[in-house]
Structure 1
């Protein structure tokens, strides 16, 4: 069933369903009247003589050029075609669906001056699986995500290219096969479609959803690594974290404590353990991952607000005036993307150090070198750890903030830009790297815990180990490992790694 959107009040959880589950969406009928009212006002302005930017004028530096009423549709059509300048690989279909859904929310607020017909076409495209081909590169994140959104709008006009039932065809063919007709754009409609932050915001939301899934998985693998290394659960005592007061730290400490509860491995050395303190990668998980969780929660608020925002220009205000502004500038999204990148980097960095600890016999408290049953003859997880280090380093390099960059565009009319779009797009690569790092840790920690037999870990972690072993067997001797690593990464990516954990243990929501 399609999600019914109430623009301005769409919760983050609904957007997550759109991303992970490909749910179509429609604007609530309660908002149709406002959409139609603003469209009528724009129509009246287009027929009049008073200049209004983008309605009866040119665009950007050409805003002083007046456009005759007879040329209104041509103006909007030319705008879309001229802005289809994206390059690079197509954005994933899940991202494009999210872009279209966000555009529905923005137009549904009734401040953009588009006809209801335009909104209905986007809804029908989502319902019928007409997915525009949107090249990944070309937006600087101000004056809207012009190029990416133009490729979406082109398909609505019957131009450009789209994916329909697995085939890449022209926009006109895709619409025809789905039983839909191209739209002829009216005054301001082309501008309303491409002026906005929906591509940047969709990419940032995807980064948020993926990084949160990875964070939860890292709590599971982090707890497993504590047991594999025969580490202490004392650093997860609730009073420690209450004394500091950060909610993320408190929540992560509680999760780790519950994940390790009643572990035989832990109980076996509660007395007589000569180690005073574990390395930071085990002991400081609440402080590090908790800070990342707090950061993601802050980002979630920003992106939920932006997802519900009207970000095109000019806007039809409540008093029926049409005013130009700058809501298309994606600075909030750029900052949010940079914050997500920092969190992704740190979740991976501390997880990688746990992997390094487990494979190092000098640190792993009795585990064999590289977790190999017969070290020397077998290399075990030696190079899997190296791979995790490579991925961690790549994420560090990609974490440089995009929001601090700017370059003037459009003949200096658009002289400060956010760079939000590629700042958010890198999160897809960074989270893929993170999925692999955590997947490698899952395999290493599982192997380490099995070396502690006959002692067993907690019941919660035993369920996870069983799920892992259904897909990847123990490493008894060296084998082709790339497939194992991909399966493990997919367990993280799909949510399968955390699925066995009982409700209420992991921090499942961001807001």
Structure 2
């Protein structure tokens, strides 16, 4: 069993993604958020919402106490609120919790958050009116994107602050994004002919009391992380070719039969695909023969002969395979959360269950944990990349390449010596980004006394992903430089040559010392856009898992 990156959802490749509360995938969220694919709500979900809402209103008007509908919130639950204050109660909740701070999420990130909230409500247990579901879908289809601050969520009673900023726009308040800048909601809605909604029983609470900010951001980060691990494998394949490593550590028997972790199997399979046709890799038999020649004093074609290379060149399937398995677990947890009703209270009247469920599905612990796991895994991906870069730059480890890949006069020129520093610094920075899911601080009069910090965990994973793009960029540029210095281009595999060509289309050979910052940023942007993966996929004679 392999652990390939998730395939694109069928709905995500069509003109529309259907929200039904039960079948939304991470790739669907990404398609709606990034590609602005249209969305619609399943007819069954609208009918379910209508029935649920009617029965819920009957329950409230019968005098049954319901948290946040006939009571105050949090520590003020003991305070009763008349049912004729329904709109005022919901409106005040959204206004009071619109207290997020810091930079705004990007438009794709805000759209992902909106999509995650829509699907949770479309499950039908939050007892909101169909009109509210339709309004969120309208926002996605018309490009009406809430301006949502990134900081302020505890991830316990849901992502209250960020989702309140989203909910405020439904009421016609707060700000929307236009060309990345916040604009008053009322101005935009009037220009589009959209009338704000008045929030009724529970609807303000249903909008803000859920895990949709951490889940939406997590979906985008996981999608990008899958591309990153595959691009790390692609760059690694180029490096092991240039350092004339053995292909033995990637042969299938050592993985499929001996240690069948799915991610390890997939990574080894990718490395075989990526290096197929290489004239530079050595077989184990080649290494044995060269070792014998060296022992007998006969000339060898290499500066050093090693039956086994260092871990950074030999344990790649074990390291990046574990990253894959961690990302898969994170991905699966996010999809479960996407298709969950995660607010409180919940109403199952449509299922024939009249009891109102007062629980804690809003608690973000499952998402917080897996986003922390992803942060740890991605941090190790960066560690591996920087160590591989070091083997290209260190003349004692690089199989005859000049120190720091200097093309001209060493000493007068420093080559890639300076370029290694940001990679090393970013690895160290990634290591300082510790787990957020264990940072609980009580709040809300000790009502929220154990919190998840799930949105912080999701932001941490995104930050490590961003840092890794620069770490990988340094390795990619160093690999291209090594190919030129050693004149190894003709011996590269088809994928290796395609990746080399893709780099050289953007960044020229470093023939003498020059400003390196721009080169690194250009390569990092190409990695963030998946361009290395695209180049490798076009040249590979099989799928890159």
Structure 1 length-normalised TM? 0.96
SS of equivalent residue, structure 2 residue 183: strand
The structural deviation recorded for 1:505 is: 4.8
Q: 1:63 aligns with which of 55, 72, 77?
A: 77
Question: Separation in 2 of the partners of 1:376 and 1:178?
Answer: 64
Please tell me whether the aligned partners of residues 244 and 282 of structure 2 are also in contact (alpha carbons under 8 angstroms): no
The structural deviation recorded for 1:43 is: 2.2
Q: 1:365 aligns with which of 381, 390, 399?
A: 399
Flag the 1:292–1:12 CA change in 2: closer, same or farther, 3 A: same
SS of equivalent residue, structure 2 residue 18: strand
The structural deviation recorded for 1:405 is: 1.8
Please tell me whether the aligned partners of residues 449 and 456 of structure 1 are also in contact (alpha carbons under 8 angstroms): no
SS of equivalent residue, structure 1 residue 471: coil
The structural deviation recorded for 1:280 is: 0.8
- The residue number in structure 1 matching 2:523 is 488
The structural deviation recorded for 1:260 is: 1.2
Please tell me whether the aligned partners of residues 337 and 427 of structure 1 are also in contact (alpha carbons under 8 angstroms): yes
Task: Figure out how many residues of one structure are paired with residues of the other and give that number.
Answer: 507
The structural deviation recorded for 1:426 is: 1.5
- The residue number in structure 1 matching 2:95 is 81
- The residue number in structure 2 matching 1:257 is 272
Matched, 1:134 2:144: no
- The residue number in structure 2 matching 1:293 is 324
Q: 1:432 aligns with which of 459, 466, 469?
A: 466
The structural deviation recorded for 1:60 is: 0.8
Please tell me whether the aligned partners of residues 42 and 188 of structure 1 are also in contact (alpha carbons under 8 angstroms): no
Deviations 1:36-61 (A, max 9, x none): 11111232234332211111111111
Root mean square deviation of aligned Cα: 1.6
- The residue number in structure 2 matching 1:329 is 363
The structural deviation recorded for 1:501 is: 2.2
Moved more, 326-335 or 376-385: 376-385
Please tell me whether the aligned partners of residues 4 and 27 of structure 1 are also in contact (alpha carbons under 8 angstroms): yes
Deviations 1:272-329 (A, max 9, x none): 2622211111111001000110111111111110111100100011213322111000
SS of equivalent residue, structure 1 residue 52: coil
Unaligned runs of 5+ in 1: none
Question: Separation in 2 of the partners of 1:22 and 1:367?
Answer: 47
Please give the residue correspondences for 1:325-404 in structure 2 after superposition, counting only pairs within 5 Å: 325-374=359-408, 375-398=410-433, 400-404=434-438
Question: Separation in 2 of the partners of 1:257 and 1:209?
Answer: 24
- The residue number in structure 2 matching 1:247 is 262
Structure 2 length-normalised TM? 0.90
- The residue number in structure 2 matching 1:414 is 448
Please tell me whether the aligned partners of residues 7 and 108 of structure 1 are also in contact (alpha carbons under 8 angstroms): yes
Q: 1:469 aligns with which of 491, 499, 504?
A: 504
Deviations 1:423-482 (A, max 9, x none): 111222111101111111111111112223254210111111111111111111111111
Please tell me whether the aligned partners of residues 352 and 388 of structure 1 are also in contact (alpha carbons under 8 angstroms): yes
- The residue number in structure 2 matching 1:303 is 334
The structural deviation recorded for 1:165 is: 4.7
Moved more, 461-470 or 357-366: 461-470
Matched, 1:277 2:311: no
Flag the 1:130–1:472 CA change in 2: closer, same or farther, 3 A: same
Question: Separation in 2 of the partners of 1:131 and 1:404?
Answer: 32
Unaligned runs of 5+ in 2: 1-14, 292-304
Question: Separation in 2 of the partners of 1:42 and 1:160?
Answer: 29
Question: Separation in 1 of the partners of 2:438 and 2:325?
Answer: 22
The structural deviation recorded for 1:214 is: 0.8
Question: Separation in 1 of the partners of 2:390 and 2:38?
Answer: 43
SS of equivalent residue, structure 1 residue 500: helix
Deviations 1:330-365 (A, max 9, x none): 000011111100111010001110011101101001
Flag the 1:431–1:286 CA change in 2: closer, same or farther, 3 A: same
